[in-house]
Chain A
Amino acid sequence: MPSQPAALAARLPLTGTAPPPREAMAVATLSVLAVLAPLVLGVLSLAPNRLLSPRAAAMPQTAGVIICLGLFLGFCLGTALLARRAAWLGWAELAAALALCALLAGIGVAAGEVLRDASPAARATPAAGFWMAMLLLALAAGCCAAGRGGTPRNFMVAVVLGFGLLWAAGLLGNLSVAREASARGAEIRAAAIQHLGLSGSALLLALAVSLPLSLLALRHRKLEAALMGVANGFQVVPSIALFGLLMGPLGALVSWAPGLRDWGVGGIGPAPAVLGIAVYLLLPLCSAFLAGLRVVPPALIDAARGQGLTEAGILRRLRIPLGLGVMLGGLRVAAVQAIGLATLAALIGGGGLGTLVFQGIGQLATDLILLGVLPMVALSLLADGGCAALQAALERGP
């Protein structure tokens, strides 16, 4: 049967005419939509000042803008074409990132042209077409990553680097967000540091509580049930309600022992925020610690005990090294969750990047919201990436 080897060869990749990966069609569709979105929705909008609603503006036809838009078109096309080979999916991801950068650069250059003739209070900002293209290109990159069986790391790194380079080159300086940022630079830095402080201390507090409790719960079934019950219970309470609930007892505590006020304890402010966030971190931390400590099968514990290892020795030589991956996974979830939850601290006077977000919501100023959200996303990605790198390093080690 001569047809059989031929059919087999057709199914095997890397035999000359490899079929395109399953994701090729999806990536192509998403890339085409990413090109169409700016045409239909517009990419640049202009507002008379920072509080009035922006209106769509036409892109000026200067050489810089046309080059950038041409690059955008080219990279979108490149994404679609590169995704037709499984081995090139990584490059397709990179092309998607470059397309996004080219579009942003075009908007930045265009903003400079448009604002030259406008009043100093006027603001230029990316319009819906840009955000839509960003979403579509991110999805295309996600498809490519799925085809490679990985995370869209190439896309993320390239976008972060590209945006950073555009910023450093001064191409984005005329965009509304950048103007708002340069006006509030010190405020943003302070808020970011506060945000890190809030989430960091909440994480440390939660660690200090959940580590010893998990170790105890390993031995005592009843304590485990109680611990997981409490941790689960808190997860159900809405976070704002929990912050509210904490106000009463903490306020009472301070009026009973006024000396505590010097330490920052009080019904409102950072103390209840840290406490509230920490409470939400108990569940991911405790469940990961307990699961990690139980990675070692009972028979192995029996063998270790039978050889004369002490309980502390079993913990140090078996439970911790073998469960570290699982435990770090929990830490990763908790760190990201802490950074997200710290946003709400602003509601009870705890400060942090949430302050900018809620101020922006109050003033209907999108740029201000973005200035709160963007550093937060960066912090989350950093925390997540750091934990992931640590996890990978440990798994590669002995």
Chain B
Amino acid sequence: MIRFEGVSRRYGEQAAVDRVTLEVPRGSICVLLGESGSGKSTLMRMVNRLVEPSAGRVLVDGRDVAGADPEELRRGIGYVIQSVGLFPHWRVADNIATVPRLLGWEPARIAARVETLLELVGLEATLFRDRFPHELSGGQAQRVGLARALAADPPLLLMDEPFSALDPGTRRGLQVALREIHAETGKTILFVTHDVEEALALADRLAVLDQGQLVAQGRPAALLEGAAQGPVRRIFGEESLAFHRLATLPARSLARVGDADGLPMLPADATLKQALMLMLSENSARLALPAEAGFGGGTLHWTDLVTAR
């Protein structure tokens, strides 16, 4: 869906992005992870031409974005930023309708679309449609921001640290909502964050940037397999590397067949990290896993968890 081919962006002598080549497969959530100043936002902003590369090219759907009209290109790509950026003098419905209006949709079609989107992001349409942005909480505002980005049904979403300014509970709620929306709509999402846990909670694909260079990419589990080295080790945090690795593996991968009676129950799609947390909170060295399609259910043992590779 997106291909970065040897793209760089230089500001004077400084390279904000340095020869990055990266492929984002269609329908995936690809997370760009890095510390501040690593060039992750700059890299993302090249996709909708808010930043022009100094070298290399960016392809969306096989077409070089440099050849596209910037405004037209941007109307076809959803864009969500940390500060949300809702227009303060427009009501929620008008904010969501920004791009459809620019594209000249019929008013009736726009109204129906706004309704659908508000429900999709988990906001009651009749309650929120006519509110002004200052009447929303931070989490609600970002849900509206997400709805606005999805308004014209773009195949691609760019999200620049969208949840970083929210409190942890709201942030986790929105991460879950985003995964659900992704499962429902199948959009390709390029997501920028500096938060390791957020990256692992969302990513199908992970790309780690350090000082403008792409230092690692791939599936999260593969990235943290074995002993990660250099910048990856630093960014994930030396002492919590093993813990983060547990977050990349499904709990069922270590399931044993056994008697699960009376044991605390894990959700079917839980990760090993969640399993560990449940063991600690329930003071139980064994957990039950529910049966599901293609999986007969079973138990999870503490000894397997700590020796997992």
Q: Provided the pairs A308-B71, A310-B71, A322-B89 are in contact, do residues A303 and B84 lie with their beta carbons within 8 angstroms? A: yes
In the complex, chain A residues whose CB is within 8 Å of the CB of B99: 307-308
Asked if A303 contacts B89 (CB within 8 A), the reply is: no
Cα of A303 to Cα of B149 in the assembled complex, Å: 10
In the complex, chain B residues whose CB is within 8 Å of the CB of A398: 89
A187 on the interface (CB 8 Å rule)?
no
In the complex, chain A residues whose CB is within 8 Å of the CB of B85: 299-300, 302-304, 306
In the complex, chain A residues whose CB is within 8 Å of the CB of B158: 306
Within 8 A of B (CB), among A277-299: 297, 299
A184 on the interface (CB 8 Å rule)?
no
- Nearest chain B CB to A375's CB is how many angstroms away? 39
The chain A residue with its CB closest to the CB of B99 is A307
A377 on the interface (CB 8 Å rule)?
no
A317 on the interface (CB 8 Å rule)?
yes
B83 on the interface (CB 8 Å rule)?
yes
In the complex, chain B residues whose CB is within 8 Å of the CB of A304: 85, 87
Kindly identify which residue among B72, B74, B89 contacts A305, using a CB–CB cutoff of 8 Å.
B74
- Nearest chain B CB to A295's CB is how many angstroms away? 10
Cα of A313 to Cα of B87 in the assembled complex, Å: 13
B 73-111 binary contact with A (CB < 8 Å = 1; else 0) = 111100101111111110000000011001000000000
The chain B residue with its CB closest to the CB of A321 is B89
Within 8 A of B (CB), among A373-398: 398
Cα of A297 to Cα of B85 in the assembled complex, Å: 9
Interface size bucket, A side?
10 to 19
In the complex, chain B residues whose CB is within 8 Å of the CB of A322: 88-89
Cα of A308 to Cα of B149 in the assembled complex, Å: 11
In the complex, chain A residues whose CB is within 8 Å of the CB of B102: 307-309, 313
B248 on the interface (CB 8 Å rule)?
no
A 304-333 binary contact with B (CB < 8 Å = 1; else 0) = 111111100100011001100000000000
Interface SS of chain B: helix, strand, loop or mixed? mixed
Asked if A302 contacts B50 (CB within 8 A), the reply is: yes
In the complex, chain B residues whose CB is within 8 Å of the CB of A308: 70-76, 99, 102
The chain B residue with its CB closest to the CB of A297 is B83
Cα of A305 to Cα of B160 in the assembled complex, Å: 14
Cα of A256 to Cα of B117 in the assembled complex, Å: 69
Cα of A300 to Cα of B89 in the assembled complex, Å: 12
Q: Provided the pairs A299-B85, A318-B87 are in contact, do residues A306 and B71 lie with their beta carbons within 8 angstroms? A: no
Cα of A300 to Cα of B81 in the assembled complex, Å: 9
The chain A residue with its CB closest to the CB of B45 is A306
Asked if A305 contacts B50 (CB within 8 A), the reply is: yes
Asked if A300 contacts B72 (CB within 8 A), the reply is: no
The chain B residue with its CB closest to the CB of A398 is B89
Kindly identify which residue among B84, B88, B89, B98 contacts A307, using a CB–CB cutoff of 8 Å.
B98
Cα of A398 to Cα of B84 in the assembled complex, Å: 21
Cα of A297 to Cα of B82 in the assembled complex, Å: 13
In the complex, chain A residues whose CB is within 8 Å of the CB of B87: 300, 304, 317-318
B148 on the interface (CB 8 Å rule)?
yes
Cα of A249 to Cα of B282 in the assembled complex, Å: 91
B 48-63 binary contact with A (CB < 8 Å = 1; else 0) = 1010000000000000
- Nearest chain A CB to B96's CB is how many angstroms away? 11
In the complex, chain A residues whose CB is within 8 Å of the CB of B76: 308
Asked if B75 contacts A306 (CB within 8 A), the reply is: no
11 contacts between A and B (CB under 8 A): A299-B81, A304-B87, A306-B48, A306-B85, A306-B158, A307-B74, A308-B72, A317-B87, A318-B87, A322-B88, A322-B89
Chain B positions near chain A (C-beta within 8 angstroms): 48, 50, 70-76, 79, 81-89, 98-99, 102, 148, 158
